[in-house]
Amino acid sequence: MVTIDPLFVLAVALLVAGVVGSFVPLVPGVALSLAGIYVYWWGTGYVEPGLLFVAVATVVGAVTLALDYLSSVISASASGASLRTAAVAGVVGLVLLLVTGPVGMLIGVVVATFVLEYVRSGDVERSLRTGIYTSVGMLASSAMQALITGALLVGFLIAVW
């Protein structure tokens, strides 16, 4: 008879929830993935999956979380928006994520970026381009979070097998 290690099942469940959570609004996908790794590592007496894997996963996860939360600011700045516009886009994104969810957040950040850049420059085309670049950057951040959580799941399975 095969015995199933409940700790391993819990860790994999958290890692899978992390992958799924990267597609679901307000679910901290990377944090769930890291929780799965930490639970298993703690449960094995800090033996598996190994300190190097845990350290790398932690750094990658922390950077991914930071970039995800700052994606509107980073993408607005990269598109040529002013620092003020980028900061306002970040605040608008955070507030609208909590109030309206991801679709409202995306639309709100694009509109805020467009309006603030239009007021600043008076150039409709440039302002529209800045708004579009900002939205593309935010969507790319979500896609990156899905890739990272998937990589953490696969890396964990390889490390403990």
Could you tell me which of 137, 139, 116 has the C-alpha nearest to residue 127? Answer: 116
What number of CA atoms fall less than 13 Å from residue 126's CA on the CB side? 11
Percent of the chain residues topping a pLDDT of 90: 52
d(CA 94, CA 99): 9
Could you tell me which of 137, 147, 142 has the C-alpha nearest to residue 25? Answer: 142
In eight-state DSSP terms, residue 71 is H
Specify the pTM. 0.75
Contact in structure between 43 and 7 (CB atoms under 8 Å): yes
The length of the chain is 161
Contact in structure between 24 and 31 (CB atoms under 8 Å): no
d(CA 141, CA 28): 13
Percent of the chain residues topping a pLDDT of 70: 96
pLDDT digit string, tens, across residues 125-142: 999 988 888 888 878 888
Contact in structure between 9 and 17 (CB atoms under 8 Å): no
pLDDT digit string, tens, across residues 33-80: 999 999 999 999 999 999 999 999 999 999 998 887 777 677 777 778
